[in-house]
Chain A
Amino acid sequence: MGKAIRKGWGPLLLLCAGLLILTLFFAWGALAWPCSPTQPSGDSLEAPGPAHWLGTDDLGIDIYAQLSRGFFSSMGLGLACGALTALIGGGLGMLAGYKGGGVQAAVDLAVQVFLAVPQLPVLIVLGAFWGQDRRLVIGLIAAFSWAPVAKQTAAKTRSAAHRTYVQAARSWGANSWYILKNHLAADVLPVVLVGALAVVGKAILQESALAYLGLSDPTAKSWGLMINRASRFAGIYFTDYWKWWLAAPVAALMLTILFTRLLARWLEQRLLEGSV
């Protein structure tokens, strides 16, 4: 432990601890908290107190319960998008970087096209048609996140695949699977991992942006939707309500994103230092 910190793994422990605390805090709210995230459990717009730690919204629904539900919904979506991105981006990137030639040209073209597409407007348009289906939202966000990951993975794979020892292994009859598994994975997987982790944070954000615009499943309790509803409450800035109704989801969103973002960044510096 002490050795790990000396080696500069301290920030990682700190970030993981932060994420763990957030998760536990919201797990408590989702599992053990008596109030329902969908049904009113108190008066409208109650201030934070012992019964409602973070108060209630205009319909009298407990904010803490909503936030907890939203955390897992957002995290789930973020992780799903991250996994999907890792799968598509990592897979295509490795394929392109390893095979080269026509495959690489095709993947390159796809990557270029997706990188050139303005993400938010596309998401808005697609969301307008398909935003109600959560799985489709995940798919859409992943579809617009895989390109950078694929690009980096392909570059890394290409550079790693041209190393002498890979050439040597190939000369001894190693097949592609052997080379990927034994010689390339250790170099390439961190790139995929870091890319996917960055996507987790970005996906949460994009979903919240879509929700804020009213382009997501209105029945799901997402933070974006909470912010949307609160910010459209007439005159909220002239009352004290924003202090718990609006500030709580904003703070939760910012904290979560900050943690995943810093984690991704730290991993990037740690794992990929000077090696891409």
Chain B
Amino acid sequence: MTPRVRLEGLTARYPGFCLGPVSLDLAAGECLAVVGESGSGKSTLARAAVRLLDKDAAPGGRVWLDGQDLTALPPKELADWRMARFSIGFQNAHGWLNPSLTLGQHLEELLARRYPRAERAGRAALLAGEVGLEVRDLGLLPRQASGGMVQKTLLALALALDPDFVVLDEPTGALDEVSRRRVLELIRRRAAAGTAFLLVTHDVTVARALCARSCVLYGGRVMELAPTAELLADPRHPYSRGLIRSFPELYPQRDLWGIRPGPGPREGECPFRGRCTQCMPACATGVPELAEIGPGRQVACVRGGIAAALTARDIAKQFDGKPVLTGANLRLDCGETVALVGPSGIGKSTLAAILAGFLPPDSGRVLVNGEAADFARLHRAPGGVQLLWQDSFAALNPRFTVERAVAEPGVLAKLWASPDQQHERVVQLLRQVGLDPTPQLLARPTGALSGGQAQRVAMARALVLRPAVLVADEPTAQLDASGRANLLRLLKGMQNAEGCALLVVTHDPHAARKIADRVLLLKHGRLQPVDPDKIEQELEDAQ
């Protein structure tokens, strides 16, 4: 079956920005959401889809509507098709409306293309009712109207002639909750009647409410295309995951952290490479194409979507004949924060030590980046696995100075050619963990530090080798409430900035809820996912 709308290799180019090629199909009556941060190219795509780009932008590709190539239409015919067969509803701004015409006049002007004068007023009133405008509002000039009214007017315009394909750019951005629901209902109704909608939005809740499928745009390219429910529950591209986890609507309990800042898209390589938490050398050699990774799911990633940084399969361990772990399974994705909770003495630290490679399991396998973990190499090379020990004081030689302690892994890995390089990196790391790298501090023996300082120094040391996986064993166990809050924020911030996968072992449900993307419960020697809201109950049950 031919799709109602087919976008085929849409491209465009501005200074510093490059769209596409983007190819998407929309069936009749389908809503497809395009989500992404601002600057990801959503609006450019929207305009490219309705052939509205300047010649300067060198628009390329084709747009098919019901088998007709819009790019092949002569300009006059294309103008006739606009609003009648396909339309666009712009992002809310007064600027889109003629300041000397009232809202109603805008509507009537458009309705004049199809309806006789006598019908126009009634039609306009009907439309206004559909989008939630009062009839008297239609007499207002744009500058007299509120943002919501303008938005509703823009939407009414897009739908006025009942086109087959509608592109909506942030249709609900300026609306209150009631109007928003009404607008969404309207779109849903129109879609049911066969209209195809391309919804451009940075609001995933709109996508969730309306669209069966969504695509995620970054750097002018589609990063991921998937059924919306699946995309929200289980994003498979690092960018989609970062984007989706930045929404308080979806993660009400968690501290919010945006996608880590980094260099923007560059040509000839994966656009997300600069901010990605799992990039490899191959990511710099070409732009990945969308590829099928499952039924209805497509991802544009060199690594085939989010990769597991650490995978544990059927880990079993017993002490003195007493089984502590009986087949624990775990998948820790790149750049993800997972909390592992459980009551004290249930074997959390044992599991942490096994996952970090400091204790061999009796049976089961630990995989890092998809390969059987060779911890001897992973511990001592950059991009490996590091463990943040529970007791920072015990983990630091009390006689070492702060600088020497922090630099130790790097010195052993022969990371630096000169003492200056070492010094520079140590100073940078100390800053990163929130310590003021004065010469006095650098020269202080770690034995003379306070508990919080020691914890931070240990953290800085764990970061020297830029680990891909960091396992933190009860990082807040020895701190008071204030220190705990600081440390949690720091740990998460560090994880966010470094982009490593973080596994936090804790018995503290609040800490888990605050910083973790997912929470796992260790119970009867196995791991099971747990709803962050129900950690306390689960902990009690597990005891």
Contact = CB atoms under 8 A, between A and B. Distances in A.
Contact of A178 (B394, B397, B412): B412
A182 B380 CA distance: 18
B525 interface: no
Interface in A182-215: 182-183, 186
Contacts of A178: 412
A133 to B, nearest CB: 43
Nearest to B404: A182
B17 interface: no
Nearest to B385: A171
A165 B379 contact: no
A165 B395 contact: yes
B409 interface: yes
Nearest to B446: A165
Interface string B368-400: 000000011001100000010101001111010
B220 interface: no
Interface string A169-189: 101111000100011001000
Contacts of B132: none
A39 interface: no
A171 B394 contact: no
Contacts of B408: 169, 172
Given A165-B394, A172-B409, A173-B413, A186 B379 contact: no
Given A164-B394, A178-B412, A171 B399 contact: no
Q: Which 3 A-B pairs have the closest CB atoms?
A: A173-B380, A171-B379, A164-B395
B408 to A, nearest CB: 6
9 contacts: A163-B394, A164-B389, A165-B394, A168-B389, A169-B408, A172-B380, A172-B465, A173-B376, A173-B379
A167 interface: yes
Contacts of A167: 358
B357 interface: yes
Contacts of A173: 376, 379-380, 412-413
Contact of B412 (A164, A174, A186): A174
A120 to B, nearest CB: 40
B395 A171 contact: no
A163 B394 CA distance: 7
Contacts of A172: 379-380, 408-409, 412-413, 465
Contacts of B375: 171
A171 B357 contact: yes
A159 to B, nearest CB: 12
Interface residues of A, number: 14
A163 B396 CA distance: 9
Contacts of B391: 164
- Point out which of B387, B394, B397, B412 has the most chain A C-beta atoms below 10 A from its C-beta: B397
B387 to A, nearest CB: 8
Nearest to B389: A164
Interface of A: 163-165, 167-169, 171-174, 178, 182-183, 186
A183 B395 CA distance: 12
Interface of B: 357-358, 375-376, 379-380, 387, 389, 391, 394-397, 399, 408-409, 412-413, 465
A185 to B, nearest CB: 10
A171 B396 contact: no
B397 A165 contact: yes
A172 B391 CA distance: 18
Nearest to A173: B380
Contacts of B397: 163, 165, 182-183
Given A168-B387, A172-B409, 20 more contacts: A163-B397, A164-B391, A164-B394, A164-B395, A165-B394, A165-B396, A167-B358, A168-B389, A171-B379, A171-B380, A171-B387, A172-B379, A172-B412, A172-B413, A172-B465, A174-B412, A178-B412, A182-B397, A183-B397, A186-B399
B33 to A, nearest CB: 46
- Point out which of A167, A173, A178, A186 has the most chain B C-beta atoms below 10 A from its C-beta: A173
Nearest to A184: B397
A183 B397 CA distance: 7
Nearest to A185: B399
Given A164-B389, A186-B399, A169 B412 contact: yes
- Point out which of A164, A169, A173, A178 has the most chain B C-beta atoms below 10 A from its C-beta: A164
Contacts of B394: 163-165
A178 B409 CA distance: 12
B517 to A, nearest CB: 27
A273 B334 CA distance: 47
A188 to B, nearest CB: 12
A168 B397 CA distance: 10
Contacts of A169: 408, 412
B356 to A, nearest CB: 9
A171 B413 contact: no
Contact of B395 (A168, A174, A182, A186): A168
Contacts of B389: 164, 168
Nearest to B356: A171
Contacts of A165: 394-397
A272 to B, nearest CB: 15
A168 B399 CA distance: 15
A182 B409 CA distance: 13
B313 to A, nearest CB: 22
Nearest to A167: B358
A192 B360 CA distance: 34
Nearest to A165: B397
A182 B412 CA distance: 12
Contacts of A186: 399
A174 B396 CA distance: 15
B89 to A, nearest CB: 58
B140 to A, nearest CB: 70
A54 to B, nearest CB: 48
A171 B408 CA distance: 11
Contacts of A183: 397
A1 B166 CA distance: 88
A164 B375 CA distance: 17
A250 to B, nearest CB: 44
Nearest to A170: B379
A167 B399 CA distance: 16
Contact of B358 (A163, A171, A174, A182): A171
- Point out which of B376, B391, B408, B413 has the most chain A C-beta atoms below 10 A from its C-beta: B408
Contacts of B379: 171-173
Contacts of B409: 172
A183 B446 CA distance: 13
A172 B376 CA distance: 8
B292 to A, nearest CB: 40
A171 B409 CA distance: 9
Contacts of B357: 171
Nearest to A163: B394
Contacts of B465: 172
A169 to B, nearest CB: 6
A167 B379 CA distance: 11
